[in-house]
Amino acid sequence: MRKWLEPVITAWTGIATHKLRSFLTTLGIVIGVAAVITLMSVGKGAEAQILANIKSLGSNLITIYPGAIMAFGVRGGASQTLTIQDAEAISQQVPYISAVAPAYSSRLQLIAGNKNTNAQVTGTTPQYLAVNNLKVAQGSFFTDDDYQRGNKVVVLGATVAEDLFAGTSPIGQQIRMGTVIARVIGVLESKGAMFGSPDEAVLMPLTAMQQAVAQPRTPQGGKIVSSISLTVTDEKYTEEVIASIKSLLRTRHKLSDFAEDDFNIMSTEQLASTLSEAIGTMTLLLGAIAAISLLVGGIGVMNIMLVSVLERTREIGIRKALGAKERDIWGQFLIEAAMLCLAGGIIGVILGWSVAFIIRSTGTMTTLVTADIVFLAVSVSVGIGLFFGFYPAWNASRLNPIEALRAE
Amino acid sequence: MIRLENITKTYRMGKQELTVLSGISLEVQKGELVAIMGPSGSGKTTLLNIIGCLDSPTSGKYVLDGREVSQLKGSELAEVRGRKIGFVFQSFNLLPRLSALANVELGMRYAGGIERRRAIEALSRVGLGDRLHHKPTELSGGEQQRVAIARALVKNPPLILADEPTGNLDSRAGAEVLSILKSLHAEQGITLIMITHDPNVARHCQRIIHLRDGQVVREERP
């Protein structure tokens, strides 16, 4: 028998002797590790999904919103400062821009036949399709010609189309929004995204939109828009483009050097990094909460190891009489604690993974188990075993052999 | 083999000092069979513990097999115990969860490593070749003590120490155990020191050392 194997076998015998007790001790670690894995996988899954959604918005996308920037990317105020003229100026004066799409949105009641729904109707330009990385599933998008003439045509998001025209083809059908009757010419391809989903969108030429709702104007007479989105020809120009737009808009809005921006420029990259940072923090928080149960499990291991040492005082005396050194005894109990926790860690990983898998299969949440979480959870659990096994093992190793032999 | 010079052992109990051994000088030759007798509290077990390197003397010099061991520390003493000394206890001290074979193998565990073949040989030597896989609770007292002897014997130590090896056994089992110990001594030349209360057991030894109040009061050679 190999020499390094003997302490492991001894430790295993110690564990196997008290099966139920070892199982219950391990359970604390199992639950802790499983909780860490499950919660972290939910967090990671959410992060991955949101990043994918943002990517699907188009990676070169820059969006300008009116209003001052606030902490954590939350826009404050309801200022109406962006105008169609701003969009035109940007399109003409800022380099490296492939398309600009100003948009004005308003919530309207849509009626088609006997069905109706409330939707965010967006008036925009034909460039909107390309800028926002959208595709048309049925029919077509409105053209420059529709835009120039102010034709009352709409393109529906997949969900809206389903709500209003369940089962039948919406192309060519009419819907009523307020006083305006518009003809459906296309349906967007579903993205199934959670974030700013185009599935809920109703798009029409901004010129036609102006007939349905009164588009507000600035004191200077500019037609106000809700946002201006644009795409950069290449990702590497993003920073430069943002800077150019910023200075152009500040000049156009006649802001003094000390005034804050009255608009907010957001690129997809910024959005992605802001969101993934926020989710990362939340994932960490979830993990930390789960880690507390791991700590409690570790204390359970220590407790049982102390009992076990006490119970096996005589055994320790016998081993010492047979020539066991302090480090032999110390090693025996430490390995035992580490094995308990390793087993707990492995079972916990399997359990946590299964739970993550079940959550994913039920479709409630996306989960993602990554190798680093598994590695972390298992090594932390072994670390806990070593940490909480240290004191009991040290106690055992320091027993006086004569007194230990006398113990009952 | 063993040379004790003026060994004392004092235990401190609060403010009082309790002298258990007061100046014992003793020599045991290689291959001797020695009995230690004396009333309870005369220091027999303490003396055996010191000889067995389970305990260190308060003062005095102890030379075992040419090496002074009285000043050694914990792990060095453990090393000496592992290599040189086999113990047989009155209460057997087998691990109840392990089979006879595993208990005997444990005797090698801290003394160079386990060899199953030798463990089986040692058990056969004490007449338990057919009881390898029995747990201690499935064995009689005499058999358990024979397993303990096999455990002491398996690492082939020059010295075996037995603390009332027949004390917990009936006379028949005691006689069996005694004859095994005697044959080990006779055939393998192992030095054997045993504590006993029983003059009939002591009679079998070459030398009887009488202790009283922590001192050697008399020696006899039956």
Instruction: Give the tens place of pLDDT for each residue, A130-156.
Output: 888 888 888 999 999 999 998 999 999
Partners of residue B159 on adjacent β-strands: B85, B191
Best probe of the A interface among B48, B109, B116, B159, by most A CBs < 10 A, is B109
What are the boundaries of each domain within chain B?
A: 28-55+79-220
Do residue A288 and residue A320 come from a single domain? yes
Residue contact B106–A322, C-beta within 8 A: yes
Distance from CA of B206 to the nearest CA of A (A): 26
Q: List CB contacts (< 8 A) between A1 and chain B.
A: 113-114, 116
Q: How far apart are CA A380 and CA A33, in angstroms?
A: 9
Do residue A278 and residue A198 come from a single domain? no
Q: How far apart are CA A398 and CA A329, in angstroms?
A: 9
Domain assignment of residue A292, yes or no = yes
Q: List CB contacts (< 8 A) between A318 and chain B.
A: 93-95, 106
Cβ neighbourhood burial of A210 (10 Å; 0-12, 13-18, 19+)? middle
The angle at the Cα of A404, spanning A403 to B1, to the nearest 5 degrees, equals 75
Domain boundary, last residue among A261, A296, A327: A261
Q: How far apart are CA B96 and CA B94, in angstroms?
A: 6
The pLDDT assigned to A322 comes to 92
Do residue A48 and residue A89 come from a single domain? no
Domain assignment of residue A68, yes or no = no
pLDDT, tens only, A315-343: 999 999 999 999 899 999 999 999 999 99
Q: List CB contacts (< 8 A) between A13 and chain B.
A: 97-98
The pLDDT assigned to A71 comes to 42
Which residues, including other chains, have CB under 8 Å from residue B165's CB and lie 6 or more apart?
B88, B89, B90, B145, B149, B177, B178, B181, B194, B196
Q: How far apart are CA A66 and CA A264, in angstroms?
A: 6
What does the block give as tokens for A24?
Answer: 């219950």
The whole domain housing A219 covers: 80-261
Q: Would you report the helix, strand and coil content of chain B in percent, each value rounded to 5?
A: 35, 30, 35
Q: How far apart are CA A181 and CA A151, in angstroms?
A: 11
Residue contact B75–A3, C-beta within 8 A: no
What total of structural domains would you count in chain A? 2
Of A6, A13, A320, the CB nearest to B78: A320
Do residue A84 and residue A144 come from a single domain? yes
Do residue A149 and residue A243 come from a single domain? yes
Q: What is the largest CA-CA distance in chain A?
A: 104
Size of interface A-B (CB pairs under 8 A): 66
Backbone angles phi, psi at A260, to 5 degrees: -75, 160
Regions of chain A with pLDDT less than 70: 1-3, 68-79, 192-196
Q: Which has the closest alpha carbon to A356: A330, A374, A342?
A: A374
Q: What is the largest CA-CA distance in chain B?
A: 54
Do residue A31 and residue A110 come from a single domain? no
Do residue A346 and residue A252 come from a single domain? no
What chain A residue is nearest to B53 in terms of C-alpha separation? A321
Best probe of the B interface among A322, A399, A400, A403, by most B CBs < 10 A, is A322
Do residue A105 and residue A40 come from a single domain? no
The pLDDT assigned to A155 comes to 93
Residue contact A321–B107, C-beta within 8 A: no
Do residue A252 and residue A166 come from a single domain? yes
Flag whether pLDDT at B173 surpasses 70.
yes
Of A315, A323, A326, the CB nearest to B81: A323
Strands B33-37 and B191-195: parallel
Q: Which superfamily does CATH assign the domain made up of B28-55+79-220 to? A: P-loop containing nucleotide triphosphate hydrolases (3.40.50.300)
ipTM of the complex: 0.93
Domain assignment of residue A266, yes or no = no
Average pLDDT over residues B194-218: 91
